Amino acid sequence: MTTINYNLGVLRMILNEARKQGWIVVNRAADVAKLRDDRPEMERPILSVEEKRRLLVGCYEVSPMLGCMVDLMLKTGMRIGEVCGLKWNDIDFFRKCILIRRTFSHGKIGAVKNRKRGQNVIPMSEGCVALLQNHRALTQLRSEYVFCNQVGKPIDYKNLFKREWKRALLRAGLTRLLETRGMGFHTLRHTMISTLIQRGANPKEIQELARHSDIRLTMDTYGHLFPNRLKTTIQLVDGEDDDKILTPFYPREGSEKTKAFVEQLTTRNKGQNISGRVDSNHRPPAPKAGALPGCATPRLSQ
């Protein structure tokens, strides 16, 4: 369905350009509505600490290269195509950063997803630096690519998924994840970003590390992981200086102002409100029986 809608959009642009050039009169594709996707939204699983440990052990047992790729994605949040297209000259061990310059998928080198300057530089932690240095020291293949096949060419992650990824999940005992829809290499990136959120990282910094073009994309995708943080943040509104600005109408519960407020409310005349002004909606008590409005009640002679 997504492919159909994408092809429809391309067809619209082609016919619209043809209409501008005068080759056709009407763009018939402009009136065709996109297909609606009524399927439930796919929720990618988030790996726990124990599941990440077991997954790494299973990947390293199947293939040390696969284990290093999975570990790198969990540490940086890189996309699988970016990992497959990574070269050694893209890694700056001195400045501890990785420059994303290309992707590799379907057997072809492609452009990066975000082309804005500065959005494709990923800082490396100390653990990530040690991981890549050990991988470079232990690998026997001399290639410009960090992860390559036997002939030094970049790895096709489609074959990697079929041949080694599922074997690693079975070896790690994570059969639950095999049956989960959406469990793939992108789950590692999703887990890395979710871990940062759960550990209290700043949303703007998460957006920059995830290299999302807009923070709205980050919040739309991962906003459901923030509720507990929002409940904690909203408590910051009630500071220590709030007693100085609180009006006498809304004192804080349990404070001295509350007690004074209640006493004032019970002792104040019924015809006045709390501020001391006469209430225009107040009605005087009804006259006694036999009394005329506006006249004093007559006294009976003894």
Nearest to 98 by CA among 121, 132, 82: 121
Query: How much is the mean pLDDT over the chain?
Result: 77
Tokens 């199947």 — which residue?
A: 62
Q: Strand locations in 36-182, DSSP E? A: 91-92, 97-99, 103-105, 108-110, 121-123
pLDDT by residue (tens digit) across 127-154? 999 999 999 988 867 789 999 888 888 8
Task: Read off the amino acid at residue 54.
Answer: R
Per the DSSP assignment, residues forming a β-bridge with 98 are 91, 122
pLDDT by residue (tens digit) across 11-65? 999 999 999 999 998 888 888 888 876 655 556 678 888 989 999 999 999 999 9
Nearest to 196 by CA among 188, 186, 206: 206
The pLDDT value recorded for residue 61 is 92
Q: Which domains does the chain have, with CATH numbers?
A: 2-31 (no CATH), 49-227 (1.10.443.10)
pLDDT by residue (tens digit) across 205-234? 888 888 887 777 777 777 666 666 556 666
CA distance 251 to 244: 11
Residue 98 has pLDDT above 90, yes or no: yes
